[in-house]
Amino acid sequence: MKQLTKAEEDIMQILWELKRANVKAIIEQFPEPKPAYNTVSTIVRILESKGVVDYEKEGKGHVYFPLMAKQDYSNQSINKLVDNYFQGSFKSMVSFFVKKNDMNIKDLESILKDINRKDT
C-alpha cells in the first residue's frame, strides 16, 4: 500500500469516521478555515487512484467510502515507522518513547497489564 500524505490522511480520518460521505460532507468536518471544494475533491480522487477509497454514484454526485480499514492502515504505518527508524525493533521503539516522554514505571506496568490481558 502506498503511504498517504498528511492531507490524504486527514480526509481518510473523516471517511473512517463517517463511513460514507460526499465532498461537501467531508469539508463540513474540517475546522475553520475549511479547505476549498476543489482541493478536497482532488485529494479524494487521488485516494481513489491509490485504491484506498471508492465511490457510488448518488444523484448527480458521488458518495465516497474507504476501502481500507483504519486498523489496517494504522498497522502498516506503525510497521513502516519501526522498520525505517528503529531497525525493525519494537523494543527499540518502546524504549525510545519511554526515554523521550519520561514515562514512569507505573505507566509501563499498566501497558504491560493491558498487553497481557489481550493475550489471554
- 44 and 93 in a single domain? The answer is no
Q: What pTM value is reported for the model?
A: 0.76
For residues 18 and 29, is the Cβ–Cβ distance under 8 A? Answer: yes
- Full pLDDT tens readout for the chain, 120 residues: 678 999 999 999 999 999 999 999 999 999 999 999 999 999 999 999 999 999 999 999 999 999 999 999 998 888 888 999 999 888 888 888 888 877 777 888 888 888 888 765
- 60 and 24 in a single domain? The answer is yes
How many domains are there within the chain?
2
Measure the CA–CA gap between 117 and 107, rounded to whole angstroms: 15
We report the CATH number of the domain holding residue 18 as 1.10.10.10
